[in-house]
């Protein structure tokens, strides 16, 4: 099978072997994300790198290496999502109101929640789930 950008998004990404490798990919992703006008997240497979690394840049740049959602709320909220791989298309998606993530480059667990007055919290919570979805194919 010929791997194209579109088929790359449907493949489960491989874990990176070292944090250093993940940091290098993360730096490349942040550079690419900065080129977009309104992007807030990017996964490695969106630039045809089949590795479990993604970046989120809502409140501050955040690199996640081999991220895993380890807990999620039962409650969900509807979120109108765009995607840099599908410009000018938006889909209303049900996202968990809160998720807990572990990543190889962060000690402990990271919590993201849309239950706040700050709309950026909802953007960040939805974005983390969106980018990890990309890594999961």
Question: Are the beta carbons of 98 and 89 closer than 8 angstroms?
Answer: no
For the question of residue 131 being annotated catalytic, the response is yes
Closest by CA position to 53, among listed 81, 83, 19, 82: 19
Bridge partners (DSSP) listed for residue 113: 98
Of the listed 14, 37, 75, 131, which one is catalytic? 131
d(CA 137, CA 128): 15
d(CA 31, CA 103): 21
- Sign of the alpha-carbon dihedral angle for 56, 16, 13, 96: negative
The residues annotated with a catalytic role in the active site are: 131
């Amino acid at each position: 099978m010929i791997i194209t950008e579109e088929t790359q998004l449907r493949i489960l990404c491989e874990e990176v072997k070292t944090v250093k490798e993940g940091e290098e990919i993360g730096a490349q992703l942040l550079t690419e994300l900065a080129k977009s006008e309104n992007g807030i997240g990017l996964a490695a497979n969106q630039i045809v790198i089949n590795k479990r690394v993604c970046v989120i840049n809502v409140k501050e740049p955040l690199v996640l290496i081999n991220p895993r959602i380890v807990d999620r709320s039962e409650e969900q909220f509807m979120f109108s999502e765009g995607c840099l791989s599908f410009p000018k298309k938006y889909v209303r998606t049900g996202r968990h109101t809160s998720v807990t993530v572990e990543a190889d480059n962060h000690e402990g667990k990271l919590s993201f929640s849309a239950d706040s007055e700050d709309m950026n919290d909802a953007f960040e919570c939805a974005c983390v789930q969106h980018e990890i979805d990309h890594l999961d194919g």
